[in-house]
Structure 1
Amino acid sequence: MTSNLGSHSRITHPLHDPSFEMCFTSTPRGARLARRLAAHRLDTWGIPYGTGPHEAIVLIVAELAANAVRHGHVSGRDFRLLLHVIEAARMVRIEVTDTRTERTPPHPEALRAPDAEDTGGRGLLLVAGLASRWGWHPRSEGPGKTVWAECAFSPPT
């Protein structure tokens, strides 16, 4: 597949409450693809590359997708990414859903910094620091959970 991303015309503001939803393989490659497609979609919606909101939202997508692969992986099952712009609130909602029920993240109020020797446990702290708010809930259909975050953005100048 060939695309010329450099020649697209920039949208000066997001379309009315656009959404993007896609399933990805529960592998590092799937997480990487989710991050890259989210970055491109945000730019298309008028949240341009290189801006603070774009970088924060993409980092949140990367962390949640990586967590879905690392902690939510069930063999043969994909994870789902949903991006939704809530233009009236100047907010992007990120949702990552996996199919593993027994491994749930802590509640936002229960997050704690890992010990210096720990090799993990910093991703959700990063999400909490970048997002306006975040949380998780059991998946509505079937086993699993959805981890979500909301991130504010400013209108483009």
Structure 2
Amino acid sequence: MSELTLATTPSAVAWARRHTVDVLQRWRFPDEGIEVARLLVSELTTNAIRHAQLSETPESAGPSTILLKLWPIEGGIILAVSDPDPRPPTPRAHDTSATGGRGLVLVKTMANRWGYSPTQPYPGKIVWAEVSARPNNALVESAVGGRQATSMLIGEILTGLREL
């Protein structure tokens, strides 16, 4: 298992992606699984930072923290990110004019499974996603025509998200 504590600062998402790729490469995780994990950890971390900042009080001394956990399972990996906001994650309705709010839709689409659990006895939650070592996402593959194109599509999605 791997854990990384991150301050809720703008650079946290990039550090979460770097850490995830580094760990998965050391664990000899397949490249296509790494690409999906990188995308999903980016979304989970972005949401956790947003929720952590919403739960901060004026009395808080500096930024709060979130925790990224990665652990291998048979045939894949679990990505989990905790934040101090106890409200459950809620995927938003699809709105093509919105500049955000698509993170959980991507997680729901690209993960084998996902969910959340409250952190007890402390306030907050852990949002997790299961990623297959060999993603076989029919929606993605049918949209781009095969496994090699899946990595290209994921790269395009990441680029688009960075530009938002």
Q: What is residue 38 of structure 2 aligned with on the other side?
A: 58
Distance 2:19 2:76 in 1: 18
Aligned to 2:151: none
Give distance in 2, aligned partners of 1:129 and 1:52: 16
Aligned pair 1:83/2:70, yes or no?
yes
- Calculate the aligned-residue CA RMSD, in Å: 1.5
1:46 equivalent in structure 2: 28
For residues 103 and 52 of structure 2, the distance between their equivalents in structure 1, rounded to whole angstroms, comes to: 14
Matched, 1:37 2:19: yes
Aligned to 1:105: 89
Cα distance in 2 for partners of 1:21, 1:94 equals 10
User: Is the 1:72–1:99 contact (alpha carbons within 8 Å) kept by the matching residues of 2?
Assistant: yes
Report the structure, 1 or 2, having the larger helix content.
2
User: Using the alignment, how far apart are the partners of 2:70 and 2:121 within structure 1?
Assistant: 19
Q: Give the distance between the partners of 1:67 and 1:114, measured in 2 at CA.
A: 17
Q: What TM-score comes out, normalization by structure 1 length?
A: 0.75
Unaligned runs of 5+ in 2: 135-164
Distance (whole Å) between structure 2 residues aligned to residue 27 and residue 100 of structure 1: 16
Cα distance in 1 for residues equivalent to 2:10 and 2:112? 26
- Post-superposition, which runs of at least 4 consecutive aligned residues in structure 1 deviate over 4 A? none
Q: Which residue of 2 aligns with 1:6?
A: none
Cα distance in structure 1, aligned partners of 2:121 and 2:7: 19
Look up the match of 2:78.
93
The alignment's TM-score, normalised by the length of structure 2, stands at 0.72
**Residue equivalent to 1:143:** 123
Distance 2:119 2:64 in 1: 14
Aligned residues: 127
What letter matches 1:84 in structure 2?
Answer: W
Offset, 1:31: 1.9
TM-superposed deviation, 1:112: 5.0
Distance 1:123 1:61 in 2: 10
SS of 1:72's equivalent in the other structure is helix
What fraction of aligned residue pairs are identical, expressed as a percent? 39
In structure 2, distance between residues paired with 1:95 and 1:82: 5
Residues of 2 paired with 1:117 and 1:21: CA distance?
Answer: 36
